[in-house]
A and B are shown apart, each in its own frame.
Chain A
Amino acid sequence: MTVSLIKLTALGFAWPGQPELLNIPTFTLDRGERLFLKGPSGSGKTTLLGLLGGVQTVKRGNVHLLGTDLAKLSASKRDRFRVDHTGYIFQQFNLLPFLSVEENVQLPCRFSKERAHRAEARHGSVVEASRHLLAQLGLAPDLGTRRADSLSIGQQQRVAAARALIGSPELVIADEPTSALDADAREGFLKLLFAECSASGAGLLFVSHDQSLAPLFDRTLSLSELNRAARPLEN
């Protein structure tokens, strides 16, 4: 039996002094699977991603990432485990503006030996890996040395994707990565992202409120259906 990429069982979470925000009896994501998770704002989406990244710990139940129970790791081991196996793409502004584009892409390899090794194994060096990914994502080579904040939002998102993919993590978590892009750019971006995820065999957890993208994915889930916690009224 292959180990699931993500496996949540009987998960419960509440912020201190607040009612339970998340109550997810079961959830799995298989390796290489592309899942669209629909979650409007306020649905506990950010908290769920925090739990998957090990930044917060569950109050109840388990989070298994690649068969490892995150709650059993120490805080610093969880941090290391996260960066070894997960790449992140956020909504926008998720590049360090004062570094070059290539350096931004290489960041995870600076903090994770495992991802640096994998990048070297695949492309010879971390620098080569970052160049290859940038080229695959349709960014001209001469952009590599530019400051990250000199790029357009669309280009920055592709840089962020390259950063999430470098060193071939098993899981890529994308949190509303397309909301700052226009409709045409969205599909283009997704195609590139899918292609690269397939190339490195990464599973993709794509969280968005934009239903129109859902048909492109293997599977679609809604966080509000998944989550059994009584939801407070939205403001």
Chain B
Amino acid sequence: MYLLRLALASLSNRRFTALLTVFAIGLSVCLLLAVERVRTEARASFASTISGTDLIVGARSGSVNLLLYSVFRIGNATNNIRWDSFETLANHPQVDWAIPLSLGDSHKGYRVLGTNGDYFEHYHYGRGLSLELAEGKPFQDLFDVVLGAEVAQALGYHLGDHIVLAHGVSTVSLQQHDDKPFVVTGILERTGTPVDRTLHISLEGMEALHVDWKNGVPARGAGKVSAEQAREMHLQPTAITAVMLGLKSKIATFALQRQINEYRGEPLLAVLPGVALQELWSLMSTAEKALLVVSVFVVLVGLIGMLTAILASLNERRREMAILRSVGARPWHVAGLLVMEAFALATAGVGLGLGLLYVGIAVSRGFLQANYGLDLPLALPSAYEWSLLGGILGTAILMGSVPAWRAYRQSLADGMSVRL
């Protein structure tokens, strides 16, 4: 391939422009691949947030809203579920297990979930993975708390630490439950789901925190109930936020969903997690697609930059073309030279883009995992990514054929002599 050698030598003669072009293409390719990888990974981790749960039940609102607060710990419930409704559900003949969820408190921006021991047994994520404790054990005492992996890491908590929960869910909370501190008894393995960002306490513990509260404000003076006093009380919750249900037979899912939605005791809503996830994702997929479209356009801009650089060089290279013609290069050789030049630039750009991507992932991996729960794999490009890269190279060749055609015409007209 002597033409390739010539193309590369000619490019290296214009190495400053060539490097800039390669850099522009490289950055745009890196952006495209990064968007694609984040997109794929976000969708995958999103879809694997919850599994094994057949129905999620909450107060009647929207299915997306229910999914957001019960699974993703985003936003708040519009209403609570009475405890007797939970008992009715839990005792339903089709129901295998029922996990009560009680939300509303937080700790330094992380949500606190009140639940029972069933949560650690029945909550599954990914492909049927169950929660594992990295250290310690599930909560047993009233004031025990089990931390999600990210909470423990970000706040530097260890087993035995005492922490104070806050009322409400804002990061800066005015009301601290500082009269009833909790002890860290367990820390969960990382899951890549919202569980990592949650503190788990028992329903009774949640009840104890609020036992002396009236109308949303803590009691003062004589009305106050101390932690020790609370231990003596009957801490049966009267309401919870949501319920996760596992059924004995999947076939009953729709029938039970219907029954719950028509429950006469209070207005309830039951959703299938998979369906609600799909619905939620379709909301976000517009943004995700827009992001992809933007990055595709950025790649196009990079390639057009290359086209401009090659076209601009054509005139000053007429002599080069004429010399090549005089030593026997045919017009299609000259055209081929330019296509190869475009191809070489694009290939170098794609290579640089891949390099930047891997360096970027390697550098930011820990940060993304810790802050956004995104685990970007340092894997080889997927088939789809290869096809994107192939498309870029194909487009580059197509674009290279524009200056190639011009040079072809030019070298036919100029022949071996150029009068400049």
Contacts and interface: CB of A to CB of B under 8 A. Distances in A.
Q: Does B bind A?
A: yes
Interface in A52-107: 53, 55-56, 76, 79-80, 82-84, 88, 90, 93-99, 107
Nearest to A81: B328
A27 interface: no
B2 A94 contact: no
Contact of B326 (A56, A88, A97): A88
Interface string A151-173: 00000000000010000000000
A46 interface: yes
Interface stretch (B5-13, B196-204, B368-376, B388-396): B5-13
B327 interface: yes
A50 interface: yes
Nearest to A79: B330
Nearest to B419: A46
B329 interface: yes
B328 A55 contact: no
A172 to B, nearest CB: 12
A108 B327 contact: yes
Contacts of B6: 96, 99
Contact of A98 (B9, B328, B419): B9
A122 interface: no
A97 B323 CA distance: 11
Choose among A82, A93, A108, A111 the residue with the greatest number of B CB atoms under 10 Å from its CB. A111
Choose among B6, B12, B13, B327 the residue with the greatest number of A CB atoms under 10 Å from its CB. B327
B164 interface: no
A50 B327 contact: no
Nearest to A82: B328
Nearest to A115: B328
A99 B328 CA distance: 16
A55 B13 contact: no
A111 B416 contact: no
A110 interface: yes
B415 interface: yes
Q: Which 7 A-B pairs have the closest CB atoms?
A: A83-B328, A111-B328, A55-B415, A98-B13, A107-B327, A88-B326, A79-B330
Interface of A: 46, 49-50, 53, 55-56, 76, 79-80, 82-84, 88, 90, 93-99, 107-108, 110-112, 163, 175
Given A49-B417, A90-B416, A108-B327, 20 more contacts: A53-B415, A53-B416, A55-B325, A55-B416, A76-B332, A79-B331, A88-B326, A88-B327, A90-B326, A94-B326, A96-B10, A96-B323, A98-B12, A98-B13, A107-B327, A108-B328, A110-B328, A111-B328, A111-B329, A175-B417
